[in-house]
């Protein structure tokens, strides 16, 4: 027919469709969670756009409508959201924006069956879950402020079509042609129970058509506005999973209201696991800002980048509902909220770092997010010393992580510095020849192998009045400590020095005898110049 364009899916999408449809077969009901979440996201997006463009204002009865039609075997999910243009249909539903398909495939085949449904939401491939229950999916969409609509259609087997269409109002309809073995998804009761299980906290009204009537299917209460005593641990966890797209148990749940100059309520979570693509995600905090329960944006950067793993919402009465982007950047209200929320989260981490009852919990937290928190030692002068205080490190002392305070308590008589060594990998570090002299004298050295470790120690400079010194730049210090019994041939070795100098010429600045080595013959050091790992990083980035 006229105006119908035929497109192939990108190869990645084809592979992914196959994976999703087969690996998740036993958990098919989550398709509805994904489509309702998309409808809610699109509605949020439109409301935010309408703040600066009145032509996009939502209708008063905006909702997410689920309409099963047993006779025609169709299930339709409709929203009044931001819609998609022709190009967006092709881009969003025909390619994969995120690069994680391969990782997704690997994770999916490794995961236990019961963990699989969680993966799909995390990877941002939710829409394709529709093909678990449908042998054809049609998406008709119209953007607010336009009269044109477009229809995307596919059987999920390699190709899709796009053609002009009509839609009475702006928004999107997802029409599923239900597979012959998926009858139960045409049953209003079944649909209602799925919504209650997965989507109860979505703040948009969700309705299900029963007979001629659209009946409400979700409670839609803002969980954070309820008194703590009325919230069960399961409700907290469910909300966390919804907002974080994570499926673990949160390590910490922080729920409180602040009163005074700025009033707000906050429900924040520290995840119990690290999202698989965390290191690739952007550095901005995604904590949601609500004004009087209404979602405004997840781009208000309510926490500093070094706490970007924290998830949740902040809801305030002190901003107008039609807050603009410019205002978000400049209002002192948000500055005060940021300050208070940051302080509260740091307090929580500090308390937990000292909680000897659950030391394993903190160790796991540090394993997951320590590398991020350490960015704060580098970039946040207010919290630098404090964060250093609860950081955990590997050291030559043993296998257990140590704190700087542990280290101070074990310093040798006359020791004036905290020694550390940086490198790319923990095994190589522990075996480094740079450590020999320190080990032989019983002087503890911190072993730092996260990328950010190449940067923060110099910025921190000292802790409790003790300088931090990189052992690759501090070899003079060893003379202060009692040396192990001499091995005898030192004098002969010293005779080698002139010959080595001659052979190496300008490639080295100097050749010297050293106290630092016990088992190895030679060690390369950098003195005065940037630390070795920095040099390597700079070389890698072409400097
Ligand atoms: P994700 O939601 O994680 O981005 P999905 O596969 O669920 O991944 O959806 C892909 C994209 O398709 C969304 O990011 C969005 O841009 C678009 N989309 C899906 N459903 C809708 C909808 N109902 N209205 C507008 N856009 C939608
Ligand atoms: Mg989605």
Query: What is the ipTM for the molecules in this complex?
Result: 0.99
Helical H segments across 355-477, by residue range: 359-379, 384-390, 404-409, 426-430, 436-440, 456-460
Atom 21 of ligand 1, residue of closest alpha carbon: 38
Least confident of 39-43, 77-81, 468-472, 523-527: 523-527
Q: With pLDDT > 70 as the criterion, what percentage of the chain qualifies?
A: 88
Instruction: Tell me what the mean pLDDT of segment 380-409 comes to.
Output: 95
37-51, 54-68, 345-359, 369-383: least confidently modelled range: 37-51
Which of the listed ranges 47-56, 233-242, 455-464 does the model predict with the highest average pLDDT? 455-464
- Average of pLDDT values for 170-175? 98
Residue 535's CB: how many other CB atoms inside 10 A?
15
pLDDT of 1 strictly over 60: no
Distance CA 187, CA 364 (A): 44
| Residue 76: count of CB within 10 angstroms of its CB | 17
Please report which confidence band the pLDDT of residue 543 belongs to, taking 50, 70 and 90 as the band edges. Answer: very low
Q: What's the average model confidence in pLDDT over 181-210?
A: 90
Q: Whose CA is nearest to atom 14 of ligand 1?
A: 92
- Index of the ligand 1 atom closest to the CA of residue 88: 16
**For ligand 1, atom 23, which residue shows the shortest CA distance?**
39
For residue 331, report the distance from its CA to the centre of ligand 1, in Å. Answer: 31
The response to whether 79 counts as a known ligand-binding position is yes
Q: Is residue 98 predicted with pLDDT exceeding 60?
A: no
* Composition of the chain by helix, strand, coil, percent to 5: 45, 20, 35
In the predicted model, is pLDDT for residue 199 greater than 60?
Answer: yes
CA-closest residue to ligand 1 atom 25: 83
Tell me, in angstroms, the distance from the centre of ligand 2 to residue 144's CA.
20
Tell me the pLDDT tens digit for each residue of 273-309: 998 777 777 899 999 998 887 778 888 999 999 999 9
Beta bridge partners of 264: 258, 316
CA 246 to centroid of ligand 1, rounded, Å = 18
Tokens representing residue 107 in the block: 């994770």
**Pairing mode, strands 393-395 and 252-258:** unpaired
Tell me which residue of 131, 172, 118, 167 sits closest to 20, measured CA to CA: 131
- The Å distance, Cα 436 to ligand 1 centre, comes to 56
Tell me: is residue 84 an annotated ligand-binding position. Answer: yes
Sheet with 466-470, strands from edge to edge, namely 398-402, 393-395, 445-448, 417-422, 466-470, 462-463
Q: What is the DSSP letter of 135?
A: E
Q: What is the pTM of this model?
A: 0.67
Segments in 381-531 forming alpha helices (H)? 384-390, 404-409, 426-430, 436-440, 456-460, 490-494, 497-504
Q: Does 56 have pLDDT greater than 70?
A: yes
Q: Which atom of ligand 1 is nearest to the CA of 38?
A: 20
């Amino acid at each position: 027919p006229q105006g119908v364009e035929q497109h192939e899916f990108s190869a990645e999408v084809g592979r992914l469709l196959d994976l999703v449809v087969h690996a998740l077969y036993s958990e098919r009901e989550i398709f509805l969670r994904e489509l309702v979440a998309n409808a809610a996201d699109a509605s949020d997006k439109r409301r935010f756009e309408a703040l600066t463009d009145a032509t996009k204002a939502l209708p008063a009865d905006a909702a997410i409508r689920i309409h099963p039609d047993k006779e025609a075997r169709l299930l339709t999910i409709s929203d009044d959201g931001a819609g998609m243009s022709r190009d967006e249909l092709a881009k969003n539903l025909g390619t994969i924006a995120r690069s994680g398909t391969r990782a997704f495939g690997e994770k999916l085949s490794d995961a236990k069956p019961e963990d699989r449904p969680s993966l799909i939401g995390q990877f941002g491939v939710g829409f394709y879950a529709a093909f678990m229950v449908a042998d054809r999916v049609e998406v008709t969409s119209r953007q607010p402020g336009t009269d044109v609509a477009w229809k995307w259609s596919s059987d999920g087997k390699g190709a899709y079509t796009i053609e002009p269409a009509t839609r009475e109002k702006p928004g999107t309809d997802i029409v599923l042609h239900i597979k012959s073995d998926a009858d139960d998804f045409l049953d209003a009761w079944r649909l209602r129970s799925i919504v209650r299980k997965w989507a109860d906290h979505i703040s948009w009204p969700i309705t299900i058509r029963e007979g001629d009537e659209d009946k409400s299917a979700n409670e839609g209460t803002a969980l954070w506005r309820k008194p703590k005593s009325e919230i069960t641990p399961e409700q907290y966890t469910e909300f966390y999973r919804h907002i974080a797209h994570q499926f673990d148990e949160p390590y910490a749940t922080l729920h409180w209201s602040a009163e005074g100059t700025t009033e707000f309520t906050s429900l924040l979570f520290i995840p119990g696991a690290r999202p698989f693509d965390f290191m690739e995600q952007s550095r901005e905090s995604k904590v949601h800002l609500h004004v009087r329960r209404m979602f405004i944006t997840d781009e208000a950067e309510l926490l500093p980048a070094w706490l970007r793993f924290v998830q949740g919402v902040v809801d305030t009465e002190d901003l107008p509902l039609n807050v603009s982007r410019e205002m978000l950047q400049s209002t002192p209200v948000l500055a005060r909220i940021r300050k208070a929320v940051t302080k509260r989260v740091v307090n929580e981490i500090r308390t937990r770092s000292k909680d000897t009852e659950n030391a394993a919990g903190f160790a796991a937290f540090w394993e997951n997010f320590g590398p991020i928190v350490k960015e704060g030692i580098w970039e946040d002068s207010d919290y630098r010393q404090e964060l250093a205080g609860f950081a955990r490190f590997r050291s030559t002392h043993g296998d257990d992580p140590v704190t700087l305070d542990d280290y101070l308590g074990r310093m040798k008589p006359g020791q004036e510095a905290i020694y550390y060594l940086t490198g790319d990998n923990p095994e190589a570090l522990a075996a480094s020849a740079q450590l020999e002299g320190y080990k032989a004298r019983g002087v503890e050295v911190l072993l730092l192998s996260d990328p950010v470790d190449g940067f923060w120690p110099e910025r921190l400079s000292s802790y409790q009045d003790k300088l931090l010194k990189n052992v690759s730049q501090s070899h003079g210090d060893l003379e202060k400590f009692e040396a192990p019994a001499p091995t005898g041939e030192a004098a002969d070795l010293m005779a080698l020095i002139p010959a080595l100098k001659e052979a190496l010429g300008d490639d080295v600045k100097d050749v010297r005898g050293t106290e630092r080595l016990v088992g190895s013959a030679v060690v390369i050091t950098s003195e005065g110049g940037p630390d070795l790992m920095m040099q390597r990083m700079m070389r890698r980035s072409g400097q």
